């Protein structure tokens, strides 16, 4: 894939550096992240991330949120197993997935069932930021006096 020069955007778009960084990550980020996952929009304000974590115990998984980034880590506990595989199709490696969360998106919970880690997300826009209707003829207006 060819590389795009994002420097003109940095020079002319003040305060959009995070957006440009996200675009660069999408354009140049790793493909084939492991383990596989789904991101599902359940309704207008709720989302579900499902990560296939077969072989991981609940104690081996860690979720954290820092500065609008959800981090999902899986780290196997060390075992002294000296298995001799004829074929190993099931990955047994540690992983780390990062998901950038939009403003006002909160992680509401997570559960592990049947080898799938399900993470519930909800967008909660504060009332002060929601659009509101202004009735004409209501309230006072400020007038300039010359």
Domain ranges of the chain: 1-31, 32-79+86-126
Q: What pLDDT sits at residue 96? A: 94
What CATH fold (topology level) applies to the domain 32-79+86-126? Immunoglobulin-like (2.60.40)
pLDDT of 50-86, one tens digit each? 999 988 999 999 999 998 899 999 998 877 677 788 8
For residues 2-29, give the mean pLDDT.
Answer: 62
DSSP E strands, the chain: 37-41, 46-52, 61-66, 69-74, 95-100, 105-113, 116-123
Nearest to 55 by CA among 35, 26, 33: 35
Asked if pLDDT for residue 31 goes beyond 50, the answer is no
Which stretch of 10-14, 109-113, 123-127 has the lowest confidence by average pLDDT?
Answer: 10-14
What letter would DSSP give residue 34? S
Nearest to 68 by CA among 112, 19, 109, 28: 19
Q: What pLDDT sits at residue 125? A: 83
């Amino acid at each position: 894939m060819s590389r795009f020069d994002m420097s003109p955007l940095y020079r002319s778009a003040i305060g959009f550096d995070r957006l440009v960084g996200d675009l660069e990550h999408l354009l140049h980020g790793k493909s084939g992240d492991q383990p596989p996952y789904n991101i599902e929009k359940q309704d207008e304000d709720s989302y579900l991330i499902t990560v296939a974590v077969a072989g991981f115990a609940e104690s081996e998984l860690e979720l954290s949120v820092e500065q609008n980034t959800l981090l999902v880590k899986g780290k196997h506990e060390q075992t002294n197993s000296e298995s001799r595989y004829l074929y190993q199709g099931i990955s047994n490696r540690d992983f780390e997935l990062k998901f950038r969360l939009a403003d006002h998106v909160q992680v509401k919970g997570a559960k592990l069932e049947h080898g799938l880690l399900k993470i519930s997300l909800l967008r909660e826009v504060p009332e002060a930021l929601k659009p509101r209707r202004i009735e004409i003829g209501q309230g006072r207006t400020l007038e300039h006096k010359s």
